[in-house]
Structure 1
Amino acid sequence: MPYVTHRKVRFQHCDPAAIVFYPRYFEMINSVVEDYFAEVVEVDFRAMHVERHVGVPTASLDTQFHASSRLGDDLEFRLEPTAVGTTSLTLSIHVHCGDELRLSCRTTLVFVDMDSGRPIPWPDAMRQRLVSELS
């Protein structure tokens, strides 16, 4: 079952034509991933970065833009993990406005030690939560 959350398209997300400027989608996606970790994985980014000195930087991002989103649109983000590796996590993210698909994205995150910048294995509790969410 996907993790579902909403984001309203605000003025800050738009270009002068009131259409979402594409880099802002990546900021929204990052905020959705951050919420997913806090709510589903049960480890928020503050705990990861500040307390544990670990992070989940993006290693790859494959995105298709299907239709424009405009100022005021209510976007539904559907995030599903599709693969959990020793140090990586692949996510499928689909963004809809009503019934219309606006964006689809496949991204891979890597669990890293922030001090060394090197990948490290997922802690058991995090890995178990991620695996339990696989579609």
Structure 2
Amino acid sequence: MAFTMPQKLLFKHCDPAGIAFYPRYFEMMNDCVELFFDHIGHPFEEIIRTAGVPTARIEAQFTAPSRHGDRLEITLRATSLGRSSLGLTFAALCGEEVRFRASSTLVYVTQQGRPQSWSDTLRAALTPHVEGKN
């Protein structure tokens, strides 16, 4: 099940030429992840009281430039759920044009930064959103 976040490309996202500065896309992906966790009923501000969900791996392809004022739709898909990991893919479109695609792996960790098994409640909330698990 896909989760989509609208994102208007703001001045703060752009370089002096008015084109999206690629590191800002990584911030947008993280915003999308955080909103996805809100959507499934587990806000990051609650999770980080006792654990964390850092990105352990990320890979991106930037396929077309985005400009100040463009309206992107960033779609997140959960592709795998491991003992302590979550595989994700992202696609950002402006209209029909793909602007970037990415994949990442999140890891559920202790406060000391060591991987731990997903809590039963988090696993139960994530499972229906993992493609091929319904």
The amino acid across from 1:85 in the alignment is: G
Would you say 1:134 and 2:130 are equivalent positions?
yes
Corresponding residue SS for 2:48: helix
> Unaligned stretches of 5+ in structure 2?
none
Q: Report runs of 4+ in structure 1 exceeding 6 Å deviation.
A: none
The equivalent of 1:81 in structure 2 is 78
Write the deviation string for residues 37-77 of structure 1: whole angstroms up to 9, x where unpaired: 0112x110110113xx2111011001000100000000101
Alpha-carbon shift at residue 124 of structure 1 (Å): 1.0
1:4 corresponds to: 4
For residues 18-37 of structure 1, the aligned pairs below 5 Å read 18-37=18-37
2:101 maps to which of 100, 104, 128: 104
- Provide the aligned length of Structure 1 versus Structure 2: 131
Q: CA RMSD in A?
A: 0.8
**Percent identity (aligned):** 44
Answer yes or no: is the 8 Å Cα contact 2:52–2:113 preserved in 1.
Answer: no
